[in-house]
Structure 1
Amino acid sequence: MKLKYNCSILALATMLCLQSCSIEPELTDVYGEEVAWSGETNVELSLNKFYPLIGQSYYSAHVNQDAYADILKKNTPNDEVNLLILGSSTITPGANPLDNWAWGYTWIRHCNEFLDGLATKGTGLPNEFYQRAEGEVLFFRAYVYFELAKRYGASVILYNDLNDGVGRNVSTPDEVWNFIAADLDKAAAQLPPTVPAAKRGKVTKGAALGLKARAMLYAKRWKASSDAVDALQALNLYDLHADYKALFNQRRSEAAENKESILEFGFLAPNFTYSFDYFFGPPLDGGYAQISPTENLVREYQMADGTNFSWSNPAHAAAPYVGREPRFYASILYNGASWKGRTLETVEGTKEGFAIGGGTTSTGYYMRKLFDEKLTDLGRGELTFYFMRYAEVLLIQAEALAEQGQLVAGLEALNKVRRRAGFTQDLTATNAGQLLNLIRRERMVELAFEGHRYWDLRRWGLATTVLNGTNAVGVKITKATDGKLTYTLVDSDNGRSRVYPEKYNRFPIPIAELQRNANIEQFSEWK
Structure 2
Amino acid sequence: MSILVFSLSNCRVDPKLTDRYGADVAWTSEKNLQLYLNSFYPLIGQSYYTSAVEMDAYADLLKMNTPVDNVNQAIFGSVTISPSNNMLGNWDWGYSWVKNCNEFLEGLEKYGGDLPADAVARAGAEVKWFRAYVYFEMAKRYGATLLLKDKLTMDPNFKLGTPDECWNFIEKDLDSAAAHLPVTVLAGEKGKLTKGAAYGLKARAMLYAKRWKKASDAVEALDALKQYDLYPNYGELFTLRRAGNEVNKESIVEFGFSSPDFGYSFDYFYCPPGDKGYAQVSPTENLVGAYQMADGTDFSWDNATMAAKPYEGREPRFYASVLYNGAAWKGRTVETFEGGVDGFAFGGGTTCTGYYMRKLFDGSKKTQTDGFLPGDLTYYFMRYAEVLLIYAEAMAEQGSIDKALTALNKVRARAGFTTPVTAGSKDEFMRLLRHERMVELAFEGHRFWDLRRWGLAKTVLNNTNCTGIKITKTGTDWNYEKIDCDNGKKRVYPEKYDRFPIPTVEIQRNPLCEQFPEWK
Aligned residue in 2 for 1:405: 399
2:499 aligned to which of 503, 506, 524: 506
8 A Cα contact 1:209 1:229, kept in partner? yes
Residue 122 of structure 1: SS of its match in structure 2?
A: helix
Q: Which deviations, in whole Å up to 9, do the C-alpha atoms of 1:472-521 show, x marking residues without a partner?
A: 100000111x2200000000001111111100000011112112211111
Aligned residue in 1 for 2:471: 477
The offset of 1:349, in angstroms, is: 2.1
Residue 262 of structure 2: SS of its match in structure 1?
A: coil
Bigger drift between 86-95 and 382-391 goes to 86-95
1:160 aligned to which of 141, 144, 150: 150
Aligned residue in 2 for 1:208: 198
Aligned residue in 1 for 2:359: 369
The offset of 1:356, in angstroms, is: 0.7
Q: Distance in 1 between matches of 2:448 and 2:462?
A: 13
Paired amino acid for 2:184: T
Paired amino acid for 2:381: F
Residue 387 of structure 1: SS of its match in structure 2?
A: strand
Q: Which deviations, in whole Å up to 9, do the C-alpha atoms of 1:245-273 show, x marking residues without a partner?
A: 10000111111110000010000012100
8 A Cα contact 1:295 1:472, kept in partner? yes
Residue 75 of structure 2 is aligned to residue 94 of structure 1: no
Aligned residue in 2 for 1:431: 425
- In angstroms, what is the RMSD of aligned CA positions? 1.6
Aligned residue in 2 for 1:4: none
The offset of 1:230, in angstroms, is: 0.3
8 A Cα contact 2:259 2:373, kept in partner? no
Residue 210 of structure 2 is aligned to residue 220 of structure 1: yes
- Percent of residue pairs bearing the same amino acid type: 63
The offset of 1:166, in angstroms, is: 3.0
Q: Distance in 2 between matches of 1:114 and 1:152?
A: 25
Residue 394 of structure 1: SS of its match in structure 2?
A: helix
Q: Please report the TM-score for the alignment, with normalisation by the length of structure 2.
A: 0.96
Residue 482 of structure 2 is aligned to residue 486 of structure 1: no
Q: Which deviations, in whole Å up to 9, do the C-alpha atoms of 1:397-443 show, x marking residues without a partner?
A: 00000000001100000000000000000010011111111011000
Aligned residue in 2 for 1:9: none
Residue 114 of structure 2: SS of its match in structure 1?
A: coil
The offset of 1:189, in angstroms, is: 0.5
Aligned residue in 2 for 1:52: 42
Tell me: CA distance 1:372–1:330, structure 2 relative to 1, closer, same or farther (3 Å): same
1:287 aligned to which of 256, 261, 277: 277
The offset of 1:163, in angstroms, is: 2.2
Paired amino acid for 2:334: L
Query: 1:76-225 counterparts in 2 under 5 A?
Result: 76-225=66-215
Q: Please report the TM-score for the alignment, with normalisation by the length of structure 1.
A: 0.94
Paired amino acid for 2:60: D
Aligned residue in 2 for 1:455: 449
The offset of 1:350, in angstroms, is: 2.3
Unaligned runs of 5+ in 1: 1-11, 19-23
Query: 1:272-351 counterparts in 2 under 5 A?
Result: 272-351=262-341
Paired amino acid for 1:510: P
Residue 457 of structure 2 is aligned to residue 467 of structure 1: no
Q: Distance in 2 between matches of 1:268 and 1:147?
A: 27
The offset of 1:103, in angstroms, is: 0.5
1:415 aligned to which of 404, 409, 418: 409
The offset of 1:96, in angstroms, is: 1.1
Paired amino acid for 1:423: F
8 A Cα contact 1:277 1:379, kept in partner? no
The offset of 1:28, in angstroms, is: 4.6
Bigger drift between 70-79 and 165-174 goes to 165-174
Q: Distance in 2 between matches of 1:323 and 1:270?
A: 38
Paired amino acid for 2:34: E
Aligned residue in 1 for 2:10: none
Paired amino acid for 1:486: N
Unaligned runs of 5+ in 2: 8-12
Tell me: CA distance 1:360–1:26, structure 2 relative to 1, closer, same or farther (3 Å): closer
Residue 235 of structure 2: SS of its match in structure 1?
A: helix
Paired amino acid for 1:414: L
Residue 43 of structure 1: SS of its match in structure 2?
A: helix
The offset of 1:35, in angstroms, is: 2.1
Residue 64 of structure 2 is aligned to residue 71 of structure 1: no
Paired amino acid for 1:90: T
Paired amino acid for 2:231: H
Bigger drift between 455-464 and 84-93 goes to 84-93
Aligned residue in 1 for 2:381: 387
